[in-house]
Amino acid sequence: MKTSWYILNIKARTNQTPSHYVECLRNLKAQDPLVTVAKDKCVSIWSIEESIENTNGIPSWMIIKIISYTIIDPTKFYNRRSKENLELQWDSDVVANKKETELFFIPACHKLATRKNSKITLNYVKKYLEEALNQVESESFDVNIVVSQDLIRKIKDAFAVVRIRADISFSNPGHSDGFARVLDEKLRAANPDKALVELIGSKTTPLGNQSDGLVSAITDIAEQDGTIEATIQSEEGGIYEKVSSSTYPRIVSVIQSKASEAWGAVYNAIREIFPTDD
């Protein structure tokens, strides 16, 4: 059986340890904050399960079940046959249009996976986690959708880049290679929570796109820690196109032979890609 998963990077701004992530998620379950993700549509937590396998009391993974639903306004009912507005007596705890999904979190690399075919959309999951975690610990977490390697390569391999814009958060340890490390260090030295970086060239004078240049560095930093968009020409004489991380989320495919091995297979697939806590 094959399943496909989107990946989110959950980052504490301080105390970036597996035990801290586990503690916060346990507190999330205890406090159960209600998050509005769209008009009348809310998300809350249903349950958390922890793997038996653990290191020093820290579970290898956590399965977080969340639910979305519509909160009913008892003053907004309407009888379409009699064409009358109605106000009903309604139990405020009774909601409608319930959907549910399971999220898979690995504390050691602070990565969270949500199924590609989830009934709760990726953007709703992201918004819920951002708001819920920061209700548990005020202004303490950043949540980013990991960007597809296809987009990273598309920008780096482009014949011409005329514009690039990235919104980057700085919770995680820095990059360790080349100019990306230098840029990362300089930006971090200013002590921002987030940085908005934009470079604009033109079709006649496009941006420099060296393998270890500024465009490449911005792209590398934004891969796990932000969003990115660019206007590029993939090949000489080709059309110019706008590309964005909003349409290029990272997808991890997982194949398992037995249903009983499902979570272990997801864990192994993610850890193979993200072996460290970068």
- Would you say residue 267 lies in a domain? yes
Positions in the chain whose pLDDT score sits under 50: 176, 179
- Would you say residue 278 lies in a domain? no
The verdict on 45 and 172 lying in the same domain is no
User: In Å, how far are 20, 53, 133, 223, 239 from 272, measured between CA atoms?
Assistant: 23, 18, 26, 17, 36
Give the residue numbers spanning the domain of 167.
Answer: 149-247
- Would you say residue 257 lies in a domain? yes
The verdict on 186 and 156 lying in the same domain is yes
Contact criterion met (CB below 8 Å) for 147 and 153: no
- Would you say residue 230 lies in a domain? yes
The verdict on 79 and 101 lying in the same domain is yes
The verdict on 175 and 123 lying in the same domain is no
- Would you say residue 154 lies in a domain? yes
- Would you say residue 160 lies in a domain? yes
The verdict on 156 and 116 lying in the same domain is no
The verdict on 214 and 79 lying in the same domain is no
pLDDT of residue 176: 47
The verdict on 121 and 213 lying in the same domain is no
11 DSSP β-pair partners: 142
Annotate 75-107 with b (16+ C-beta within 10 A) or e (fewer).
eeeeeeeeeeeeeeeeeeeebeeebebbbbbbb
The verdict on 104 and 179 lying in the same domain is no
The verdict on 83 and 166 lying in the same domain is no
Distance CA 73, CA 91 (A): 10
- Would you say residue 73 lies in a domain? yes
Listing DSSP states for 65-90 in one string gives: EEEEEEEP-TT-EEETTTTEEE----
- Residue 20: strand, helix, or coil: helix
The verdict on 233 and 157 lying in the same domain is yes
pLDDT of residue 181: 62
The verdict on 137 and 37 lying in the same domain is yes
The verdict on 55 and 134 lying in the same domain is yes
Structural domains counted in the chain: 2
- Would you say residue 188 lies in a domain? yes
